[in-house]
Structure 1
Amino acid sequence: MGERFQVEVGPVAHGGHCVARVETGRTVEDREGRPVPERRVVFVRHALPGEQVVVEITEGTDGDRFWRGDAVEVLAASADRVSPPCPYAGPGRCGGCDFQHGALPAQRELKAAVVTEQLARLAGIDLEVTVEAVPGDEDGLRWRTRQAYAELPDGVPGRGMRKHRSHEVIPVEECLLATRDARAPVPGTRVETVTAAGRRHEFRVAADGFWQVHPGAPRTLVETVLDLLRPVAGESVLDLYAGVGLFAAFLADAVGESGRVVAVEGDPAASAYSRDNVPTASVTAGDVATVLASSYPGAVDLVVLDPPREGARRAVVEQVIGRLPRAVAYVACDPAALARDVAIFAEHGYRLERLRAFDLFPMTHHVECVALLTKTGSDLR
């Protein structure tokens, strides 16, 4: 830690950094026992591909496979480099943003490259990805409708934000990602209104519970899921990791009284809200894999998967496959988890037919994807 190296920055990697390699000044033996210069992979923040920078090591020891570092000096800048709009963005400062030093179009290209790489490496799929802008932010700022600040140490008044991968708090006046009326999560209930696909629904949700923070996210995701699945009257739908019923409500409209929507959610509080928000749905609170193993057997037409960051994983994916849906819409906040689960679907004859990616978290490395998986072969119902 603390050592500095001059490097040429390589491609972007999943997690908000780029890959570089440094010569440590030491030697190691190659496979034939000959001494060669030691080169170490470094994941570099606050850099862009192709730049020449001085990187300072922030995490790592001699025995680690890779180190982490910050670009503390730019020797040759990318054409996509810009001055961060926030004074707290940069090496050693707030860790909330990863890409403020890049122009917005370049940020989206970096995210698209990550999705493409994860699908290729983990699912064996070669797919060109475009990350789409979503209405509701101001040039990548002012999109967080809820914002919490950390307490400053020793009773110091004011607001704080944490450094990257650290509990250390730095004072800030405000976070520029927050909307001007952003609320802190507090106990209680709030009401969110979503208009999508020509329908309007109100959702009761715990004030400190999960809800998409980008103003344009609910409508964008609902309309994308409906467009990909094309539900029709009379069909049956499983909405898994259903939250407070965002997708279930609009799917219930689409399949009508002759159809059926089942919503399964692991958080009991969110599941209770979904019973009120979507009274026509069958709602169950519980671990999704456990619920599917014991309930709602038989074939279904459609499935929506909106799992947490770690993905749905094999136990859930194979329960879904066992119900022979004609189509699955997978809403993913982590491209690596999505790619791993897509690979499991492929083992059972489901292919990735379409994918859309959205910039719901500008200035950060996070990206939201919606994937359509369909059954291949003659056994499609």
Structure 2
Amino acid sequence: MEAIVDIERYADQGRCVAHIDGRVVFVRFALPGERVRIALDEPTDRNDRFWTGEVIEVLEASPDRVEPSWPLAGPLAMGGGVGGADLIHVSLEGQERWKEAAIKDVMARLGHVDLDDIPVYAMPGDEEAQGLHWRTRIEMITDDEGRPSMHRRGSHDRVPIDTMPLATRAVLEAAAMHDVWEGGALPANAQVRIAVPEPRVDAADIADTDALRRAIGRNHAVIVDGKVRHGSRNLTERIEVDGRAFTYTVDAGGFWQMHREAPQVLPQYVIDEIRGALGGRTPRNGRNLVIWDLYSGSGLFTLPLATLIDDHAKLVSVEGAKTAVANARRNLKAAGIHTVQALCGDVLRTLKHDIDPQRAHPDIVVLDPPRAGAKANVCDLIADSGAPIVVYIACDPASLARDTATLTKRGYALHSIAAFDIYPMTHHVETVAVFTK
């Protein structure tokens, strides 16, 4: 079934809202203010509360519309459908407006906080790269002939690909080093992950292929069905915060901030915001500063927090993934940091039962939970701790909004909020909110 509709506003998941005979329709690859012809997803039940559909023709275009730089990720009717870049039809400036609007909407609806403006920061180099070449990790499947591919939306079809425009130059080069794009280089029907830390060198030093390959070396991984086929399981990530270098060992199959610049930009922002929120404040009862770093992974925030806020601070990190905790401990030891209690376990249970009494009342809590958020029980426990400053790093605005509602009910005020466009060409956005008691 096809229909011509007027697009009204942004919605979630990279979609926009239209109406057909009073019924809400969520439309992919649309923009507010446009008139478009859409194909409704089948089956369409007349009793459904809402319908979904996709643009097949643009009749009146928004000024924010651009030609998709990766057509395979565009609408099905225009030869696309592989997914992974649901805002590929939107200019970079339009993407920032979209993400600001999405955060403001969900914070009002779920967080009960009305916001006038939210800064959305682009990552260094993204404008020059036109929103491409930012992913240091990519995942694919292989088809029956061992060719890398992606599923076409709404089907089991696998579309062979011979490049990945969102991947960094280093990822693409590592794939080429091992003939990943060649059919038969990989087993059929396999899950493939390629992870390559961004070389922290001047662009001029990796301008040619040989120089880039030397910079990559063995610091990369091609993982097939969970096993490292090429490269190394343990990767080395390097960042710089406040002019200080930090080095991390991370699991090639585990979590690390995906954008090539996010591991530097986010810790720097968090450190700056904490300093501003402290405003010269001294720890309670004259003791050393106490910091909690929750959902701490391999220690991305832990190392800067332990060295740049207060050398004498007592810091607790909590993470549920055993491999990540082992790497965090290794990273702390390698950095000569001995003031951190790095705990492994469920965050809620660990905070209830395993915290050293001398670290049970934090001055600062930093949390970077998974997409589902920290949830009410953890937020209540943070509030019970009496922490004056809470810094919440969120990869999902809806989860942040729900947890904002819990924190504000418990006496916290939203001190600042900013968004970081570390997922260009997608509807995803990273948000950092600072709460004060």
Stretches of structure 1 lacking an aligned partner (at least 5 in a row): 24-38, 376-381
Q: 1:168 is matched with which residue: 118, 143, 157? A: 157
The answer to whether the 8 Å contact 1:159/1:172 transfers is: yes
User: Aligned runs of 1:233-248 on 2, under 5 Å?
Assistant: 234-248=288-302
Residue 12 of structure 2 is matched in structure 1 by: 14
Which residue does the alignment assign to 1:124? 112
Which one of the candidate residues 394, 398, 403 is aligned to 1:341?
403
Structure 2 Cα separation of the partners of residues 102 and 253 of structure 1: 41
Aligned to 2:209: none
Cα distance change, pair 225–169 in 1 and its aligned pair in 2 (3 A) = same
1:86-125 equivalent positions in 2, closer than 5 A: 86-92=70-76, 93-125=81-113
Cα gap change, 1:135 to 1:166, in 2 (>3 Å): farther
| 3-state SS of paired residue (2:168) | strand
Distance 1:245 1:255 in 2: 15
CA shift, 1:235, in A, is 1.3
Distance 2:374 2:139 in 1: 28
1:111 and 1:257, CA in 2 relative to 1: closer, same or farther beyond 3 A? closer
Identity of aligned residues (%): 41
1:306-363, CA deviations, whole angstroms, 9 ceiling, x for partnerless residues?
0000000011111111111110110000000000000000011101110010100000
1:158-207 CA distance string (max 9 Å, x none)? 22112346553212221210112215143410000011112111000001
Could you say which residue in structure 2 is the equivalent of 1:149?
140
Q: Say whether residues 1:209 and 2:229 are aligned partners.
A: no
What is the DSSP-based 3-state SS (H/G/I as helix, E as strand, rest coil) of the residue aligned with 2:306?
helix
Q: Which residue of 2 aligns with 1:222?
A: 267
- Structure 1 residues 121-176: Cα deviation after superposition (integer angstroms, max 9, x where no partner): 11111112121111143110000112122212xx2342211234655321222121
Query: Partner of 2:40 in structure 1?
Result: 57
Distance (Å, rounded) in 1 between the aligned partners of 2:343 and 2:64: 48
Does 1:4 find its partner at 2:2?
Answer: yes
Structure showing the higher helix proportion among its residues: 2
Q: In structure 2, what is the Cα distance between the partners aligned to 1:96 and 1:117? A: 23
Paired residue for 1:30? none
SS in 1 for 2:258: coil
Structure 1 equivalent of residue 181 of structure 2: none
Moved over 4 A (4+): none
1:266 to 291, 310, 320: 320
How far apart in 2 are the matches of 1:322 and 1:295?
16
Provide closer, same or farther for how the CA distance between residues 351 and 165 of structure 1 changes in structure 2, counting only shifts above 3 A: farther
Does the CA contact (< 8 Å) of 2:2 and 2:37 recur in 1? yes
Q: Distance in 2 between matches of 1:136 and 1:192?
A: 19
CA distance in 1, matches of 2:163, 2:246: 32
Amino acid at match of 2:14: G
- 8 Å CA contact 2:291, 2:316 repeated in 1: yes
What letter corresponds to residue 94 of structure 1 in structure 2?
V
C-alpha distance in 2 between matches for 1:167 and 1:236: 51
Provide the TM-score with structure 1 as the length reference. 0.90
| Normalised TM-score (structure 2) | 0.79
Q: What amino acid sits opposite 2:376 in the alignment?
A: R
- Which amino acid in 2 is paired with 1:201? F
Give the CA RMSD over aligned residues. Answer: 1.6
After superposition, where does 1:339-378 map in structure 2 within 5 Å?
A: 339-375=401-437
